[in-house]
Structures are given as C-alpha cells and as structure tokens.
Amino acid sequence: MTVRHAATARLSTARHSRHTHHATRRIVRGTSLAVVALLAFGVGGAAATYARINGNVSHIDVGNLVADEPRPTKSADPNDPNAGQDVNILLLGSDSREGDDNESIGGHIGGMRSDTTIVLHVSADRSRVDAVSIPRDSMVDIPSCKLTNGKHTGATFGMFNSAFAFGYDQGGDVASATACTWKTVEKNTGVHIDHSVVVDFEGFEKMVNALGGVPMCIPNDMTSKDAKLKLTAGYQTLNGKQALGFARARKGAGVGDGSDTNRIGHQQELIAAMVKSILHKNVMTDAGELLSLLGAATSSVTTDKGLSVTDMAGLAYSMRNIRGGNITFMTIPWGAYPADHNRVQWTSEAAVIWDRMANDEPLDGKKAATPEPSSTASSSPSSSTSETTKATPKATPTPATTKQPGKESFTLEDTTAVCKTS
C-alpha cells in the first residue's frame, strides 16, 4: 500500500491563496530573471543568444492537463507576494527512441518510458538543493490523468513508471506522459510540482560533452552489453556515451545486483559528479560556460511552458553561492512489496521526507548549524594550561565513511566510491 505523508489532504486546498497575486509575482519574477539573463549573457549578444538557445527548447503545455483537479498548493506570504518561493522540478529521463541519434543509442523499441524520476527541490532562500529519486518499481496510486486528446486515463494501482507509459500510449505525446507522472507524484507525495524537464538519451550525452566530460572514480571494472558500457577501474573522465551507459546500466559484470535501485545509485553518483564539475568551473557565474551548458542542455530537452531559458538562467544564477554540503541526493525510503518482491513500496519514513520537502525543510530535519562562539581563553594562560596543551596528543584523522548511493543519502562532500592510487 502506498504511503503518503499526513499533510497530503491538508495540502490539497490552499492554506493561503497562492493565485491571488500570481500574475503580479510572475511579472516581477520574469522581469528580474530577464535582467539576470542580460547580465549573464552580456548585453551585446543577449538577444541573439537567447533566441538561439530558446529555439532549442521544446515546450509542452502541462499546466492545462494537471489543473483540472485539486492539487497540493504552496502557502505564500500574504504580506509580500513577491517573497522568495521554493521550487520543485520533476526531472524525467526518457528512453525515447525517436530520432536517429536516440535510436542508434538505445535501439529500436516502440512507445516511451521513463526509468529515471527525480524530484528536485530548491529551497526558497536558494541555499539548499535536494534531489529525491523515485524507484520505477514503486507500487503507488496512479490517478486519472487528462490527456492532450481530451480523453482521460483510468485511475489504478501499479508501478510508478506506468503513469508515464499510460500517458504516452493513450495520449500519444510527451505532454500527456509528463502530466500523468506529474499528477502521480503530487497525489502520492503531497508535494506541489512547479515545473518539469524531460531529457532523452541524446540530450544527456550533449550535456556531459558540453562539460568536457565528467571526472569520476570507477571502483571496479564494469561491463554491460545492454547499456553499451565498458569501463576499467580507476579515476577517469567519462565522455557523453560512457556517462549515459553508466547511468543506464543495470545488468552486467561489476555493475551491481541488477536492481533498479542499484542503477539509481549510479545515476545519483553521476549527477553529483556533474554538479561538482559545474561548481568547480564556476559555470553559474561564467557567462561563456553557462551559455555552452544551456545550449547543450536545451538541445534535447522538453519543459513545461512555464520554464523558459530565462527562468533556467535566473535560477542557476540565484544558486551561485550554494555549497556542496547543502546539495543532497537520496532515494525515497522503500522496502519490499509483500505481494511481489520484484516491486517495492515506500516506508513510513517516506511520508516524513515528503512532508519536509512540501514545507521547505531540510530532509534530515536538522536546522542550520549555529557557529560556535570563539574561545575566550586568557591572554596569559597558566603554566598548568600550557602543560596540558603540550601533553594532549594530536588527533588521528578518521577515514572518510563511504556512503552507498541509492541506499543512503549523501551530499557532494561525502565519499561515495574509493579508487586505489598508485
């Protein structure tokens, strides 16, 4: 049975009217992001650059499909409609074989599925990012979904990624598939989704290559015929094809236990490595780097109409001071589904995680650490204090604990793989 956090029913109706000042807030937000984009792109070439990159993006009208029924809403400060808002983005990895490049990568298979789903939460103060993966085999309630052809899917209980497949098979397009997944996430989590991004094989490869590859530690040799992957152990920089193979691999020598949750761990490691590279290269504040990445990222992605290139640039710029320890990856807590151990169900802890995200709180429930007061030691310490200090042995460095992506939450500051150095 699917576990939803206790706030779901409460969130289905507005605690404050999110839409009262919606138009005003959107105009102000759009104007401010346009200014940010101009500053980042450079005034001289801003218009041409914006037109070129924006032309890459495929937009779908998901809003009309998800707004026909009550949805979780966010509370806004009634005294300041332009106050900062947290942002929740539904990231979907599509296995679409449409187009010569995608078919050559994944082979010819009809239909469209999404085996990668991440709910990305950006805190209102832009100091924290949480990326929560949802296993495709999660047994959840799949609500009735409005399709672009005017029809509706039937409500059912089944595997999470069935929502995307149902939408595509019955609606015939990415908009329907995305909308069905969007509504399924909101129904089972109580988290309001603001935007969606769908990335296909080709788009992911281009993003990695735009970064100049992704430096990673590969702890052991890995081979997967299905994912066209062959890697040797050690530190190396993965190109687009290698990175995609690493993200897709589920079966093969050295790949893991063959489960989807094990593959999720690889995907989290890879995305974390990409984020580290972006932060290291100061992509958020370097106009040339930002343009290059946005140009690649938008070439094979599909977003909802509300997420423009200006929004992307503005959001990226607003997070320019974020630190690695405040970027968290985790898989929603799960356990075996009793009726079929090849499927999973969310545990009661999942409800707590979703509730914290819905309320823009850290996933671990901890508040920001308060700096400890500085020492007030005497300017003329006694001889006994000096002797005590001299006698105190130096602390032995504690080896870094290796976190297990897919099974444990981790930040960019944690160690997730160990490679031997010669």
Range with lowest mean pLDDT among 36-50, 74-88, 277-291, 401-415: 36-50
Residue type, 341: H
Longest dimension (CA), the chain: 85
Long-range contacts of 233-240 (CB under 8 A, 24+ apart): 233/419, 233/420, 234/419, 234/420, 235/419, 235/421, 237/212, 237/213, 238/208, 238/213, 238/214, 238/270, 239/208, 239/209, 239/213, 240/204, 240/205, 240/206, 240/207, 240/208, 240/209, 240/213
Query: pLDDT tens-digit profile of 197-241?
Result: 998 888 889 889 988 999 999 999 999 999 999 999 999 999 999
Contact 97, 106 (CB under 8 A): yes
Query: Which among 89, 128, 162 has a CA at the least distance from the CA of 364?
Result: 128
How many residues belong to the chain?
422
Q: Which CATH class is domain 8-200+303-366+402-411?
A: alpha beta
What pLDDT was estimated at residue 246?
96
Query: Is pLDDT above 90 for 249?
Result: yes
Tokens 């966010």 belong to 74
The C-alpha atoms of residue 109 and residue 202 are separated, in whole angstroms, by: 16
The C-alpha atoms of residue 310 and residue 27 are separated, in whole angstroms, by: 13
- Mean predicted confidence (pLDDT) in 77-98: 70
Q: Who's near 326: CB < 8 A, 6+ residues apart?
A: 127, 128, 129, 411
The C-alpha atoms of residue 193 and residue 185 are separated, in whole angstroms, by: 8
Q: pTM (2 decimals)?
A: 0.79
Query: Which among 219, 217, 216 has a CA at the least distance from the CA of 254?
Result: 219
Query: pLDDT tens-digit profile of 159-183?
Result: 999 999 999 999 999 999 999 999 9
Range with lowest mean pLDDT among 18-27, 150-159, 183-192, 279-288: 18-27
Q: Who's near 51: CB < 8 A, 6+ residues apart?
A: none
